């Protein structure tokens, strides 16, 4: 197996301390938002044999396994990350596979450069994702019931929010959520900035259920995404709990450290909380306007001590092992490739010692025996 040397991305929303604390290194004072583990061309992991892209390209069937190549093609179909949010990420949704293919083909046909800031589709793939908390982790996930959203907005006592409250009461669920989100994102910017400022002041004053939105408004003053965020469920994950984000589900991560895994795609449609391009018509085509519970996932017990986070996607499968002191050796050998990530304690995998934040790539079929006392996440595919 190959020890991975991984890139840390310094996005502005990143925590300055969470990833260094996990790795046992000194903070630099700069944000360290995401550590990428995988073969994404934007920041592939490095090994003694070259980048993981080069390793896989040299012999895809040997590295990934013939079943995985037959199912997903000659590339690693997932990207594993450590994600450390010190400020809210953009409010966003991801397309399903058909929407991604249509959108990518359309932008290619129109000659929109892949690097253009207004480009929506960097590839033709969907981007389901799973985030699993390592610390308390705050996020927004899926629409509230319209009547609950109306109650939250009405409780602020902000007059300019009343038309949204009335719409949420008067229309069927799909129409209510669609019309309010459309109205928020297309409102006059100066009027919306005043509404957001009044909303932020009221959230500060009231606290409680409003406190998360006061924090969001502090980071994004005047942004219509502050109002859009109040249409969504706020959730606080405890360590070990997770969220699955399927196509069309609006979401944002607010604060905390987590393991994240996703299909290998860059396709994001933004709804707000960002200075980046917001394509409202395309966004409205992608969003699923239906209320839902946040859907907190807890791992399900599997043989040999494995705990699996069950999701409906096949591009990735995330599980963990919580290994006790003096416990048995676990044989993790698979006929598909896997990435193993230690997040606590000390683990020995195939002769390599793993400490928190370190990871290895295990080619398909390679013997993978694990011992030690710590927490180990395992990422692979379903074939």
Which residues carry out catalysis? 270
Residue 237: half-sphere exposure toward Cβ, Cα within 13 Å:
29
Whose CA is closest to 342, among 35, 108, 7, 48?
35
**Residue 292 in tokens:** 């839902």
First to last CA, the chain: 21
Q: Is the Cα torsion angle 125, 316, 84, 18 positive or negative in sign?
A: negative
The DSSP call for residue 156 is: T
Element (H, E) at 317: strand 317-323
**Per-residue three-class SS string for 13-69:** CECCCHHHHHHCCCCCCCCCCEEEEECCCCCCCEECCEEHHHHHHHCHHHHHCHHHH
Q: How far apart are CA 94 and CA 278, in angstroms?
A: 13
Backbone φ and ψ for 237, nearest 5 degrees, come out as -85, 140
Is the Cβ–Cβ distance between 337 and 38 less than 8 Å? no
Q: How far apart are CA 27 and CA 288, in angstroms?
A: 40
Element (H, E) at 112: none
| Virtual torsion, Cα 188, 194, 199, 200, nearest 10 deg | 120
Residues 6+ away with beta carbon under 8 Å from 284: 178, 181, 182
């Amino acid at each position: 197996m190959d020890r991975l040397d991984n890139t840390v991305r310094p996005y502005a929303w990143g925590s300055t301390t969470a990833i260094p604390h996990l790795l046992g290194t000194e903070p630099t004072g700069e944000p360290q938002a995401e550590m990428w583990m995988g073969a994404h061309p934007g920041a592939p992991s490095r090994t003694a044999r070259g980048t993981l892209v080069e390793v896989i390209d040299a012999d895809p069937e040997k590295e990934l396994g013939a079943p995985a190549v037959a199912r997903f093609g000659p590339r690693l179909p997932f990207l594993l990350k450590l994600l450390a949010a010190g400020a809210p990420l953009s409010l966003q949704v991801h397309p399903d596979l058909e929407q991604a293919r249509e959108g990518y083909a359309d932008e290619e046909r129109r000659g929109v450069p892949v690097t253009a800031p207004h480009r929506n589709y960097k590839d033709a793939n969907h981007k389901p994702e799973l985030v699993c908390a390592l610390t308390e982790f705050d996020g927004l996930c899926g629409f509230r019931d319209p009547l609950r959203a109306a109650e939250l907005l009405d409780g602020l006592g902000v007059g300019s929010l009343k038309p949204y409250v009335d719409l949420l009461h008067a229309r069927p669920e799909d129409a209510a959520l669609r019309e309010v989100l459309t109205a928020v994102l297309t409102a006059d910017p100066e009027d919306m900035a005043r509404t957001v400022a009044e909303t932020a002041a009221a959230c500060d004053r009231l606290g409680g259920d409003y406190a998360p939105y006061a924090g969001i408004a502090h980071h994004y003053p005047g942004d219509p995404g502050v109002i859009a965020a109040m249409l969504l469920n706020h959730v606080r994950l405890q360590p070990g709990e997770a969220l699955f984000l399927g196509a069309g589900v609006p979401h944002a991560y607010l604060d905390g450290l987590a393991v994240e895994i996703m299909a290998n795609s860059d396709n994001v449609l933004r709804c707000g909380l960002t200075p980046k391009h917001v394509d409202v018509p395309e966004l409205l085509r992608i969003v699923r306007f239906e209320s839902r519970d946040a859907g907190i996932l807890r791992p399900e017990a599997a043989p040999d001590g494995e705990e699996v986070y069950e999701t409906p996607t096949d591009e990735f499968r995330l599980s963990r092992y919580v290994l006790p002191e003096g416990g048995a050796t676990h044989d993790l050998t698979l006929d598909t490739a896997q990435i193993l990530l230690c997040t606590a304690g000390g683990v020995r995998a195939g002769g390599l010692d793993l400490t928190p934040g370190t990871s290895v790539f295990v080619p398909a079929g390679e013997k993978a025996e694990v011992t030690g006392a710590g927490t180990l996440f395992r990422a692979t595919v379903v074939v």
